[in-house]
Structure 1
C-alpha cells in the first residue's frame, strides 16, 4: 500500500551510471527544480539505456544534499560535478521488465508505437510521475524476471537502432565521446569566425557550446550534445536559450535517439520545433574534418 503523497518516477540512465547507483546506493540530478519534485519516500524506476528494460527500483531515503566530488561516469570523464544534487536510496526491486512486453499495459505510455519517448529523461514521462498501478506492473515484471547473474552480459547487448517504424539490429559504430564532439563544435565555431565557448552558463545550468558574433553579445547559436539518456533536460536548456536570447538550438545526437528527440519537439517543446535542429553526430565529425582539411590546404598553398 502506498504512503500518503508518495510519487512514482521513471528516470533513464546509462549502463555505467546504473552500476554506480546500485553500488553506492545514491541517486543524483543536475537541476534543483527536480529536487522540489522528487521527495524523500518517493520511488524511482531506472530505465537502463540499451536494454529496453526497467532494471531497478530505488526508494529515496533522505533529503537531497550537495555533492562534493565527482561520482558518475560522465563526471569522471569530464572531471567536473555535473549532478550537484544527491540523495541516498535503497534498492527495492531488481529484474528485467522489458518495455515492449509491458507497453500495452502501461497507461503512462500514450503512444504505444513511440514508447521510447516516455522512458527517456530525468525524470522521464515528460517530467511527470507515473500512476501507482503502472509502478506495480513494472515491479511485478521485475520479480518474474530477475537480473542475470553476469550483469556484464546484459550491458554488452547491442542497442536497438530505430529506422522508420521498425527496429533492427546494426553493428556498432565507434561514437566519439561527448567532450570530443563538444570540442569539435568549439573548433568549428572558431574556424567559422564565431566567438565560441564551452560550458556556457544559463541560470543554474550550462550549455555544452555556444557561438556568438561579438564577445559581449548573447549566444546566437546554442548546442547540446546528447548521445544517450536525458533528452528532455537537453531540450529544456536549448528551449531556455531560445526563449532568453533567441538562440538557434542544435541537438547533436545518435540515430537511435533522433526519433525520440523529434517526438519531444512535436510535444512538450513544440514552440521551438521550427527553429530546432536535430543533427546526427557523424555530420559534426564530417564537417569538422572537412574544415580542418580546407584550412590545411589553404596553409600549404599560402592562400
Structure 2
C-alpha cells in the first residue's frame, strides 16, 4: 500500500467529497498509474485568498482508492486552464474528514526536507507519494 498527498484547492475539494473521485491533469498520468486500490490519499488544500481573507493550507481528509486509474473527461472539476478536465481519475471512499493546519506539521513531516522553503515540495504537483510515518502522523491528528 502507498500513501499519497493530493494537492487541490477548496473548490475541487468539494467535488472530491461530493463525487468520491480524484482527478489529475493528463501530464500527471504517470504518477496516477502508480496508484492502486487500497492506497490512501491525504487531501491538502492550498493557501488561498478569498475576498481579502487568507485561507491557510490545510489537511482536510483521507480517502481510500477503490478503483484502478481510468480516463474520464467529464467536466466536474474547476480549472484555471481552459479545457482542463483532470481526466485521469480514481474512485475513492472517505476514511476521515476534518481539518488540520498544515504549517505546524512541517517540522514533523519527513518528506519535507527543506523546512524553510517547504512549498517547493508541493509546487507543480497534483500529488506526491509520502512515507507511511507521515501518513500515520497526519491520520492521528485528523
Establish whether TM, by shorter chain, passes 0.5. Answer: yes
Where on the TM-score scale, by shorter chain, does this alignment land: which range?
0.7 to 0.9
Question: How many angstroms apart in 1 are the aligned matches of 2:84 and 2:79?
Answer: 9
1:57 maps to what in 2? 62
RMSD between aligned residues? 1.8
User: Which is bigger in relative contact order (C-alpha 8 A, separation at least 6)?
Assistant: 2
The structure carrying a bigger strand percent of its residues is: 2
5+ residue gaps, structure 1, are 1-5, 143-303
State which of 61, 70, 74 in structure 2 corresponds to 1:69: 74
The CA deviation string for residues 49-99 of structure 1, in whole angstroms up to 9 with x for no partner, is: 123211111111011222142111128x84x35322221101111222222
Q: Which residue of 2 aligns with 1:30?
A: 25
Tell me which protein shows more helix as a share of its residues: 1
CA distance in 2, matches of 1:104, 1:74: 31
Equivalent position of 1:105 in the other structure: 108
TM-score normalized with structure 1 length: 0.41
Aligned residue pairs, count: 131
Structure 2 length-normalised TM: 0.82
CA–CA distance in structure 1, aligned partners of residues 70 and 12 of structure 2: 19
Which ranges of 4 or more aligned residues in structure 1 deviate by more than 6 Å?
none
**Structure 2: where are the runs of 5+ without partners?**
48-55
Q: Residues of 2 paired with 1:61 and 1:90: CA distance?
A: 7
